[in-house]
Structure 1
Amino acid sequence: MYNFFANNVMLKYHFHKRKAVGKRLFFGLFTILVINVMSGCIPQKETVYLQDHAKDKKYNNPYNDLTSITERYILKPNDLLYIQVTTSNPKLSEFFNVSRSTSGGSQLNQSLYTYLIDDSMCIDFPFVGKVDLSNCTLEQAREKLEKILQPMVSDAHVKVRLANDTFVILGEVASPGRIDMGKEQITIFEAIALAGDIKTFGKRKEIKIIRPEGDGYKTFYVDITDKNIVGSDEYYIYPNDLIYVRPMKAKSFGIGETFSFGLISSVLAIYLTIRAITQ
């Protein structure tokens, strides 16, 4: 009778022990699942573009309203200009497009038509000499050259555009580096698209832009999750801009796109399993 009672007590003890082990295993696995889900998540408000931030009662639009966008870029020292003069007399045009006679009838070499703006904001134009382009846009530079050529060539048509229309983008983007714009000004979203978009851990709310301006640099930040940026001065990127996309704090803790939580989960699972069995 005593042995039967003792065996019954032991069976109940092992049953309750196994039940407790099962609970600990379930709790451990549930904890691992929660860690995996939470650690791999970045709040949607940090990654979605063009949100309506006006819902925040304390929100004020930090961006300056855009008055106009056409020809806003002001020429700067070290800019390269592509300049071509066309007249009704091809022979006369050759005097101003000096490289045309050396092309041998082949495709024109654009680099031979470029003119560097020096530190005094002047270019050295054939048969004209120094031309001051201080505070000029591309359109104003074109008009100025046509006016200078007017006494020599009454029907001169001048084409002027930037030959160095590039920007630099660094940080958490797919393809950092110097990128050709293809035109004098593009939007911040076009610039990001040309760089292959921002990586998962790129901070979209504080994109830093450093812009050459006059004798110095202008630095400002844009939030591309805010739809109010559209139509503002800060919406556009100009030649020689430097764009920096900083990483989120999560990446500084060793969390990155190539970081695997599977390893941590496996180690934690083994640890919890051993602990549950041995206790």
Structure 2
Amino acid sequence: MMNVKRNNAWLLLLLLLGSVSCIPQKELLYLQNKESVVDYPDADVITGKYILQPNDYLFIQVSTFDPKISEFFNSTRAGNTSQSTQSNMFMYMIDDHMDIDFPYAGKINLQGCNLPCAKQKIKEALKPFLKDANLIVRMGSNAYTILGEVKNPGQHKMSKDQITIFEALGTAGDLTPFGKRKDVKIVRPQPDGGYQTIIVDITDNEIVGSDKYYIYPNDFIYVRPIRAKQLGIGESFSLGVFSSLLALTLTIVTLTR
């Protein structure tokens, strides 16, 4: 009878070890082919969908057939400044009224504009001064913030105007084994001052090319921990948990003698 109780105690220990000592591989794999219960709308181009907001920076460069005129408009703000300052001379901040202050053209309001709209408004404002001008207008402050179960949390610059969720996670060093891949939360500021919360399942192959596949400037990404971390489990089984389970089993064995 004692042997049966002792065997039952060791069986209990093995069951506990098996239930919490590893993270299922299915929870770690990206882009799985599975039956998705989510309908993912197709994505729009980010440069066409992102609405500019106060405190955004725009990179604006004027190009004409006359190099001297181009240099004049592009260097007006910098003057004879140092080389380190000249690197920012194409940057224009959008103020709280959604205006940029452009040389000679003055205040240009970009309320409700995406990048193509902003480019057109700036070009219209420059017509009295430049008949034929080519403009380069792109985001100058495109960054996102990521926190939670990633290896390199913090604010990261976007390498281009449009990046994917996987590029964003890759820049942050990828998720830790504890990152909840089925529940990545994106908090996105809205032009009206509100916020939109988006939940992304990066284990689902169907997100590729969808509206949830891309990161916008100023996005906040949070990767929640899975329950295994709350149990004290590491990438290998936690010594603390093992010790606790072993002590529990020895107690049971002692009591059943």
Q: TM-score, normalised by structure 1?
A: 0.78
The runs of 4+ residues in structure 1 deviating greater than 4 Å are 26-34, 67-70, 266-271, 273-276
Compared with structure 1, are the counterparts of its residues 172 and 82 closer, same or farther at alpha carbon in structure 2 (3 Å cutoff)? Answer: same
How far does residue 168 in structure 1 lie from its aligned partner after superposition?
0.6
Compared with structure 1, are the counterparts of its residues 85 and 107 closer, same or farther at alpha carbon in structure 2 (3 Å cutoff)? Answer: farther
Would you say the 8 A contact 2:22–2:236 is kept in 1? no
Would you say the 8 A contact 1:95–1:126 is kept in 2? no
Partner of 1:115: 92
Match of 1:52 among 33, 52, 60: 33
Structure whose residues are more often helix by fraction: 1
Give unmatched runs, 5+ long, in structure 1.
Answer: 1-15
Secondary structure of the corresponding residue to residue 180 of structure 2: coil
Q: How does 1:90-129 map to 2 (within 5 A)?
A: 90-97=67-74, 98-99=76-77, 101-103=79-81, 106=83, 109-129=86-106
Partner of 2:23: 42
Compared with structure 1, are the counterparts of its residues 108 and 34 closer, same or farther at alpha carbon in structure 2 (3 Å cutoff)? Answer: same
Partner of 2:219: 241
Match of 1:168 among 125, 145, 151: 145
- Cα distance in structure 2, aligned partners of 1:194 and 1:155: 40
How far does residue 77 in structure 1 lie from its aligned partner after superposition?
1.4
Secondary structure of the corresponding residue to residue 71 of structure 1: helix
Partner of 1:178: 155
How far does residue 126 in structure 1 lie from its aligned partner after superposition?
0.6
Compared with structure 1, are the counterparts of its residues 116 and 256 closer, same or farther at alpha carbon in structure 2 (3 Å cutoff)? Answer: farther
Instruction: Output the aligned Cα RMSD.
Output: 3.0
- Cα distance in structure 2, aligned partners of 1:264 and 1:249: 14
Q: TM-score, normalised by structure 2?
A: 0.84
Match of 1:130 among 107, 114, 117: 107
What per-residue deviation string (whole Å, max 9, x for no partner) do you get for residues 181-210 of structure 1?
111221111111111111111111111111
Q: Percent identity?
A: 47
Secondary structure of the corresponding residue to residue 156 of structure 2: strand
Match of 2:116 among 139, 150, 157: 139
Partner of 1:11: none
Which segment drifts farther, 182-191 or 149-158?
A: 149-158
- Cα distance in structure 1, aligned partners of 2:85 and 2:133: 19
Secondary structure of the corresponding residue to residue 49 of structure 2: coil
Q: How does 1:1-279 map to 2 (within 5 A)?
A: 20=3, 24=6, 32-54=13-35, 59-69=36-46, 71-97=48-74, 98-99=76-77, 101-103=79-81, 106=83, 109-215=86-192, 216-253=194-231, 255-257=232-234, 260-266=237-243, 269=246, 272=250, 275=253, 279=257
Higher relative contact order (CA 8 A, sep 6+): 2
Amino acid at match of 2:178: F
Would you say the 8 A contact 1:29–1:269 is kept in 2? no
Partner of 1:4: none
Compared with structure 1, are the counterparts of its residues 64 and 187 closer, same or farther at alpha carbon in structure 2 (3 Å cutoff)? Answer: same
Give unmatched runs, 5+ long, in structure 2.
Answer: none
How far does residue 76 in structure 1 lie from its aligned partner after superposition?
1.2
Would you say the 8 A contact 2:233–2:241 is kept in 1? no
Would you say the 8 A contact 1:187–1:235 is kept in 2? yes
Secondary structure of the corresponding residue to residue 111 of structure 1: coil
How far does residue 71 in structure 1 lie from its aligned partner after superposition?
2.9
Provide the aligned length of Structure 1 versus Structure 2.
254
- Cα distance in structure 2, aligned partners of 1:122 and 1:116: 8
Compared with structure 1, are the counterparts of its residues 41 and 264 closer, same or farther at alpha carbon in structure 2 (3 Å cutoff)? Answer: closer
Amino acid at match of 1:221: I
What per-residue deviation string (whole Å, max 9, x for no partner) do you get for residues 55-89 of structure 1?
xxxx5333223355553222111111111212233
Which segment drifts farther, 72-81 or 38-47?
A: 38-47
Amino acid at match of 1:185: Q
